[in-house]
Amino acid sequence: MPLSILTEEEEGDGEEFVPVFQTSAIYQINLIKNYLELREVKYLVTGEELMSLIGGAIPLEDAFVTLYIQKKNIALFQNFLDKGMEQA
What would the pLDDT profile of 6-59 be if each residue is shown by its tens digit?
555 545 567 899 999 998 888 899 999 999 999 999 999 998 776 665 555 555
Q: What does the pLDDT read at residue 2? A: 44
Residue 79 belongs to a domain: yes
Residue 31 belongs to a domain: yes
Residue 3 belongs to a domain: no
Instruction: Determine the structural domain holding residue 83 and report its residue range.
Output: 25-54+73-88
- What are the angstrom distances between the C-alpha of 16 and each of 26, 56, 64, 71, 73? 24, 35, 22, 6, 10
Cβ-based neighbour number of residue 85 at 10 Å:
12
Residue 59 belongs to a domain: no
Q: Is the pLDDT of residue 60 over 80?
A: no
Q: For the chain, what is the domain count?
A: 1
Residue 2 belongs to a domain: no
